[in-house]
Structure formats: structure tokens, C-alpha cells
């Protein structure tokens, strides 16, 4: 299949990008090619520049700091990058805390925040008009983005200490709280839910929801931990573990709690990160959960509505010292391009971060990667595999900062570990620019191409600070491809769809549709490929969640490719 160019689109940064529209049968194609100069022989490392000051953002992640150390305070500032109004420009949503111990958003400083991207790349606060301030909510944590009713508009689920909430996107710039009528809000009132993810676990074309729970907690049951006259945050092991909850989408805006019948109720944990991927390549989406101070969970989908927890058997339950760490955010991508989805999760300072290589039915620790050594000085929270320099190898970003201000090492800068040929990583953080190296108590982070220039940008929150919108300088000289997939037999968001790119030189690259990334956050659902010096792609192979396989031939680099599932 050879695309036919019929509708060029000029990107806002001066590059000529295009959108390729492929019909269900593959008959209608729209392609615009990017016109570039010759590739650089020695690609340079791009950096990041904070664009937030241009937008005069009033939002700060407010965890209600004070003399008393309430247990959930360190977990504040979830992020979502998504196009809520379908205008082709990525927007940003932030969750926020609440006044403690009242657990109320007593004034606008605790409100959640929706930023709409303007044509000039700045952002406008449209929270109030969208109905997303959350003023009647509690202390909020993670945000999960997904079009659960397949109407073409992305909806939001927000995790809380208190009432979780499902917001339906009305398609007119506003959202409606539909939690009660959906049946998705039923949980014990004292359950602390940190993060959630949408995915179609039974491949019926409707997105289901898994909610990562942590413990039972209220301000009234908060434990006091002191040393002399000084109060500190209690060890998480003093709190009870709880299992995640799974909600099956019945259609027509209704959900059923299937936690018991799915088998998830048998595996309690303290969920901090959740990653969705088909880890065993059987066509069914599986779930990895990074648990704080508990063994991590790997729920393998049995294809019959149930899951089997196989974390210990498959080598992900414990770290390389056979211990449970303070597992934080997680991501699951194929970092070495061998066709198997790997796992990364970070830990607190002194607990080595874990890069787990998928060897088929077993994960192992690639010590030659050097990730364990590079990570020792840092306390990582959110993270993600991000090919920041478009060389075709997924790098590792981590948002860092200690739990509390205990010494001069507590505020930390973020890190970028560059992937060298899928074998090892080098710390290039010092070359990412002064905005990237800001020291603070970073928490949530999300990734997406905010300005549609083919390079991935980063949005990251820091406790009690304005978030940073880190724009990739996009000057590596490397090429790229961005896929926007629309399901028809599959769920419209096509979460879990696998993509294999084979370049003209025979190089193979792998990625999949994944929105839940890192800690408390949701990323741009478009599938990104860095191509290095390659300008031509021999084939793009897509396996949709429905099982349908689609192959596109002779695809040009440096474009946005919109693909519809055949139906």
C-alpha cells in the first residue's frame, strides 16, 4: 500500500508535517511529507526549555504543608497530557491536594487545573468553564485518561483519598461528574486510591478501568510517628495493604465491579505505578503494578475474564537483592527493540531503580545497563521510557525528589538516562539545560508532543511549585514518526495496539499504545518512533486489540500518521 499525498499540514515550528488519514479499508489516504535538510552526521543532544512562564500559570500542587505529617501528603500533583477538545493541540490537566485534616478544597489554591493550549503554544486556564475545579472533591492523586464510551472525546477518572470521580467529556469543552450513575465509585470510603489505568482487558471494544489502591486511611486514622520532638512520615509498612479494583465496562456508561471474579482481590498491595502491556505476546493485555514496600504484582490475563498473579514466577516481584523496595512509578516499553515489552520502576535514594528485561516468560536484571549504579543518589517518583533524541532507542526519564525535606540532598533534579544501542545507559542529565536541572520535590510527569514537531516534551509537577512544561529543543537532526490510531472493532483509543516499524535499511522498532505512564499520570496516546538517520520506512505493522492485523508499506518519515482500524 503506497500512501497518496493529498493534504499537507504545516507545523507551528516551521517544519512541514503531515497527517495521513487511512480509511478502514485503506482506500483513503492523506499524507504530507516533511521537507528537511540533510541529516547531521553527528546528531547533537537536544535539551529542554520550560515554557510554563510564558503562560503565567497560577496552579501549584498544594499538599497542605504544615507541622503535622499526614501520610498522603508526599503524593500530590498528577498530570495528564491529552487533547480534550479535539483541536489537534495537546492540553494539560493537573490534580491537586486538599486542606488537611478537613480533606476539603477550601479555596482555589487546592483546585485541580485544566490548561487549554492556544494557537501560539501558550496555555489558558479553562478549569472553571470546563467544570473540573474539583471543589467538592477530596485530596486527589492520579488521573487516568480514556474514551470509555467511544464517542471520540477523552474522559477523566481521578483517584483520591476519599471519593474517586469519573468525569464524562461532553464534547463541548465541559465535563460532567457521572460517578454515581456509572457504578464506578463503589469502594470503602477510607480507601486511598493513588493511580488508575484504562484498558480493554476482555477485548470487547469497551475500555475497562483498573484502580491502584494503596491502603485504608483517613485523617482520623492517620498514624503519628515521632523521634524526640520531631514528627516524620510513618513507614508505609505500618499501613494495611489492599488489592486493586477492576471495573468492567458494560456499555451505555455503566460499569460492574469484577474485582472478586477476576481474581485481583486475592493480591493486596500498595500500588504506586501501573503499566498495561501484553507481556507474554498472547494478544491479551496484562497489568504490572509497582507496590511500595510490598512485592510488585504482575497480573497475567488468562483471556477468560480472569488474571493470574505471576510476579514472583516471572521475576518482577522483588529487586535484584530479593527484597521489596519503595517501588514508585513504572513504565512498560520495549527498550532494546527485541519484540518483548520490558519494565522499569524507580525507588527512593539508596534503593536501586529496576530495569527488567523481558526474555519471554521471565524478566531479568541487565546489570550491564548501569541503571542500578546511576540511580543510587536519587529518589525517583514518576518516570517513563522516552526517546527524547529520536535515535530509535527509548531512554529513561525520572522525576526526582525526596519524600520530605530532611537534609540538603532532599530537593533533587530530574534525570535522563540515555539508551546506548539497547545495551547500556549513560546519565546525560547535565546536558539537558538549566530548566531540566531545577531542584525540587518532583512528583507527577507525563510525556507528549505538545507542539507537534516530532519530539517528545515533558510536563512535571513539584510539591508546592508551579509545574514545568519542558519543551524539547528538537535539534538532534534525527527523524521520527508519530502514529494516531483509531479503533473501530477495538476500543476507539486502541490502548494496547502493538506497532512494529521496519525501516528501509531493515532496522526493527517496537512500541504500543499506552496512556498510563509513570506515577499518577497519563501521557499522549499517540505512538512515537524515533528513526535516527532513516528517512524511509519499509513497513508499519499494527496488531489491533481485536486481533486484526494491518500492514502499511512505503511510509515516509517525519509525519503524523492517522490510521483507522479496518472494519
CA distance 287 to 199: 10
CA distance 278 to 285: 5
CA distance 77 to 136: 18
Report the half-sphere exposure of 91 (CA within 13 A, side-chain side): 23
Cβ atoms 16, 10 nearer than 8 A? yes
pLDDT of residue 567: 84
- In the numeric block, the cell 477485548 is attached to 203
Task: Give CA separation, 168 vs 16, 136, 212, in Å.
Answer: 35, 16, 20
Cβ atoms 243, 264 nearer than 8 A? yes
Tens-binned pLDDT, residue by residue, of the chain (567 aa): 433 333 333 333 333 344 333 333 333 333 333 333 334 444 589 999 999 999 989 999 999 998 899 999 999 999 999 999 999 999 999 999 999 999 999 999 999 999 999 999 999 999 999 999 999 999 999 999 999 999 999 999 999 998 999 999 999 999 999 999 999 976 777 899 999 999 999 999 999 999 999 999 999 999 999 888 888 899 999 999 999 999 999 999 999 999 999 999 999 999 999 999 999 999 999 999 999 999 999 999 999 999 999 999 999 999 888 888 889 999 999 999 999 999 999 999 888 899 999 998 899 999 889 998 999 999 999 999 999 999 999 999 999 999 987 666 689 999 999 999 999 999 999 999 999 999 999 999 999 999 999 999 999 999 999 999 999 999 999 999 999 999 999 999 999 999 999 999 999 999 999 999 999 999 999 999 999 999 999 999 999 999 999 999 999 999 999 999 998
- In the numeric block, the cell 450513575 is attached to 181
Cβ atoms 242, 215 nearer than 8 A? yes
List, in sequence order, the alpha helices (H) in 170-258: 179-182
CA distance 558 to 383: 26
DSSP annotation of 404 reads S
pLDDT of residue 407: 65
CA distance 306 to 37: 52
CA distance 9 to 558: 12
pLDDT of residue 361: 87
SS3 237: helix
List the one residue out of 303, 308, 299 whose CA is nearest residue 282: 303
pLDDT of residue 33: 33
What cell numbers appear for 322 in the block? 530479593
List the one residue out of 520, 347, 344 whose CA is nearest residue 444: 520
CA distance 465 to 53: 12
pLDDT of residue 21: 36
CA distance 32 to 19: 6
CA distance 70 to 68: 6
List the one residue out of 224, 519, 236, 237 whose CA is nearest residue 401: 519
pLDDT of residue 350: 84
Amino acid at each position: 500500500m503506497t500512501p497518496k499525498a493529498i493534504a499537507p499540514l504545516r507545523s507551528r515550528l516551521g517544519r512541514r508535517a503531515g497527517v495521513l488519514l487511512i480509511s478502514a479499508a485503506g482506500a483513503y489516504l492523506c499524507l504530507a511529507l516533511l521537507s528537511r535538510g540533510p541529516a547531521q552526521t553527528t546528531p547533537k543532544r537536544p535539551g529542554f526549555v520550560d515554557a510554563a512562564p510564558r503562560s503565567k500559570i497560577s496552579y501549584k500542587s498544594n499538599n497542605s504543608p504544615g507541622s503535622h505529617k499526614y501520610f498522603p501528603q508526599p503524593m500530590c500533583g498528577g498530570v495528564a497530557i491529552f487533547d480534550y477538545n479535539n483541536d489537534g493541540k495537546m492540553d494539560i490537566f493537573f490534580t491537586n491536594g486538599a486542606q488537611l485534616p478537613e480533606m476539603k478544597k477550601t479555596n482555589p489554591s487546592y483546585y485541580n487545573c485544566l490548561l487549554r493550549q492556544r494557537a501560539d503554544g501558550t496555555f489558558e486556564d479553562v478549569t472553571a468553564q470546563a467544570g473540573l475545579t474539583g471543589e467538592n472533591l477530596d485530596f486527589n492523586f492520579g488521573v487516568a485518561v480514556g474514551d470509555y464510551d467511544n464517542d471520540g472525546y477523552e474522559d477523566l477518572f481521578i483517584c483520591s483519598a476519599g471519593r474517586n470521580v469519573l468525569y464524562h467529556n461532553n464534547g463541548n469543552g465541559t465535563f460532567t461528574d457521572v460517578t454515581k450513575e456509572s457504578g464506578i465509585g463503589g469502594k470503602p470510603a477510607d480507601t486511598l486510591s493513588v493511580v488508575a489505568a484504562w484498558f480493554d482487558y476482555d477485548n470487547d471494544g469497551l475500555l475497562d478501568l483498573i484502580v491502584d489502591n494503596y491502603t485504608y486511611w483517613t485523617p482520623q486514622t492517620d498514624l503519628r510517628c515521632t523521634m524526640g520532638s520531631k514528627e516524620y512520615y510513618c513507614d508505609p509498612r505500618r499501613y494495611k495493604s489492599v488489592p486493586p479494583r477492576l471495573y468492567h465496562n458494560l456499555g451505555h456508561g455503566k460499569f460492574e465491579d469484577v474485582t472478586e471474579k477476576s481474581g485481583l482481590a486475592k493480591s493486596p498491595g500498595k500500588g504506586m505505578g501501573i503499566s498495561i502491556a501484553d507481556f507474554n505476546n498472547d494478544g491479551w493485555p496484562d497489568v504490572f503494578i509497582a507496590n511500595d514496600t510490598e512485592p510488585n504484582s504482575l497480573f497475567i490475563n488468562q483471556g477468560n475474564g480472569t488474571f493470574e498473579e505471576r510476579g514472583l514466577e516471572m521475576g518482577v516481584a522483588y529487586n535484584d537483592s530479593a527484597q521489596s523496595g519503595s517501588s514508585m512509578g513504572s513504565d512498560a516499553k520495549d527498550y532494546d527493540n527485541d519484540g518483548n515489552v520490558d519494565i522499569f520502576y524507580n525507588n527512593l535514594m539508596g534503593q536501586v531503580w529496576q530495569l527488567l528485561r523481558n526474555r519471554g516468560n521471565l524478566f531479568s536484571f541487565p546489570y550491564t545497563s548501569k541503571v542500578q549504579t546511576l540511580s543510587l543518589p536519587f529518589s525517583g517518583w514518576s518516570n517513563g521510557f522516552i526517546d527524547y533524541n529520536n535515535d530509535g532507542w527509548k531512554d529513561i526519564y525520572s522525576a526526582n525528589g525526596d519524600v520530605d525535606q530532611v537534609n540538603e540532598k532532599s530537593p533533587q533534579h530530574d534525570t535522563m538516562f540515555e539508551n546506548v544501542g539497547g545495551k547500556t545507559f549513560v546519565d546525560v542529565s547535565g546536558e539537558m539545560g538549566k530548566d531540566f536541572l531545577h531542584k525540587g520535590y518532583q512528583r507527577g510527569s507525563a510525556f507528549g508532543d505538545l507542539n507537534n514537531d516530532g519530539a517528545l516534551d515533558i510536563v512535571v509537577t513539584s510539591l508546592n511549585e508551579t509545574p514545568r512544561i519542558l519543551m524539547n529543543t528538537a535539534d538532534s537532526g534525527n527523524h521520527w514518526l508519530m502514529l494516531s490510531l483509531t479503533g473501530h472493532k477495538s476500543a476507539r483509543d486502541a490502548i494496547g495496539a502493538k506497532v512494529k516499524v521496519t525501516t528501509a535499511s531493515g532496522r526493527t522498532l517496537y512500541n504500543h499504545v499506552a496512556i498510563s505512564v509513570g506515577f499518577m499520570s497519563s501521557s499522549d496516546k499517540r505512538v512515537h518512533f524515533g528513526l535516527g538517520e532513516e528517512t524511509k520506512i519499509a513497513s508499519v505493522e499494527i496488531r489491533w486489540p481485536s486481533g486484526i492485523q494491518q500492514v502499511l508499506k512505503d511510509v515516509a518519515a517525519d509525519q503524523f500518521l492517522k490510521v483507522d482500524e479496518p472494519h
